[in-house]
Amino acid sequence: MDLGAAVAAALTRDVNGLSDVRRDPLEYDAFLAHRAVTRVSGVAHADGERIPWSMIEKTTEGPHLAVPYLIDNGDREYAAYASGLLDDLAPAVRAPRVFGMSAEADGRKLLWLEEIRHEGTRPLDAQSILAAARDLGGLGGRWLGRDLREPWLFRGWIDRHAQPEAAEKGLATLRRRDPAVVARLGDRLDAAERLILAQPRVRAVLEALPQTLCHHDAVGANVFRSGGEVVLIDWESVGPGSVGADLASLLFSSVRRGDASANVVAPLLDEAFAAYLDGLREEAPGADGAEVRRGLDAAIALRWKQAVDVADSLERGAVPRRGSLPDEAPEDALAELIVLTDVLLEASAPILD
């Protein structure tokens, strides 16, 4: 399939040709090369009419250029669209519509997707967070307990967050008790150390909880409010996960990236959980609220590296950064990340008791 066919699909009519085609690269969290997201626009010629159009073109290069991690992600999102999995996600959650797909001989994958405009604030405000939490609950409830066997689904989400390969270095950072670190973090260092050592228990809790379909990257930058529903972009990590896992991404990881403020999220945790549970129970009335809360707390507890990263920045005198707010004042960023560390340790406490 090519761009012309994708435009015809988007317009739902035959197209004789395209003109004035423009490509505008978008800022994208592509920390690895050979993945690109571009807004493509132009004019379609159809039966004497000139029809303006625009869409998003997402490209992942093949193995001759891209690393395996990136190829896996691109292949997974391609498979999710091709399978129809994303066609009927939940009452108020959907993916961007796909207008065309191309898998080339060299392994390059292209998706031509609906362009979504966010109807709300960025960073996310309290109202947007609560609305997204409820709708994510609906997604969790719709898929709760379903048999998700597709081989391309992502199953390594616990390791991605828990980073067991980094635990030893993380413990060493905390145990050095650098004076600058102690001055700002104090007793948090002992709690963070206990959390790292308890990661096998956190994993066991998550694996024992009810499972559902998760986006696994439902951070603010991937959450769009459009037409009264949530549109989630970037389905590269879609797969099974514990109830509450996507809510942890929305609440915790959004702050870590700068997609939301810790001072908004921290006092909102219980209300956001209640909204998520309400949405989940609309689809799965018998869901156990205690299990769902345990899922949220344990999914946050996986993110122990948040505390270590703050300690490391303080020790090195480095400027802490949140990816979506590169111009944020360093002291403001540090204050946000310390509040987020408190959220981490408070959520972890019930798991460690």
Q: Which domains does the chain have, with CATH numbers?
A: 3-113 (3.30.200), 126-352 (3.90.1200.10)
SS (H, E, C) 67-134: CHHHHHHHHHHHHHHHHCHHHCCECCEECCCEEEEEECCCCCEEEEECCCCCCCCCCECHHHHHHHHH
pLDDT tens track for 113-157: 999 999 989 999 999 999 999 999 999 999 999 999 999 999 999
At residue 117, φ and ψ (nearest 5 deg) are -105, 130
Residue range 246-252: average pLDDT? Answer: 98
Strand ranges of the sheet holding 49-60, from the earlier edge strand across to the other edge: 17-25, 35-46, 49-60, 109-113, 98-103
Helices (H), the chain: 3-11, 68-83, 126-142, 157-162, 167-175, 179-185, 188-197, 199-208, 245-248, 254-257, 262-265, 269-283, 289-301, 305-316, 330-352
Please tell me the predicted confidence (pLDDT) of residue 66: 84
Percent of the chain with pLDDT over 70: 99
pLDDT tens track for 268-318: 999 999 999 999 999 999 999 999 999 999 999 999 999 999 999 999 999
Please tell me the predicted confidence (pLDDT) of residue 2: 92
The whole-chain average pLDDT of the chain stands at: 95
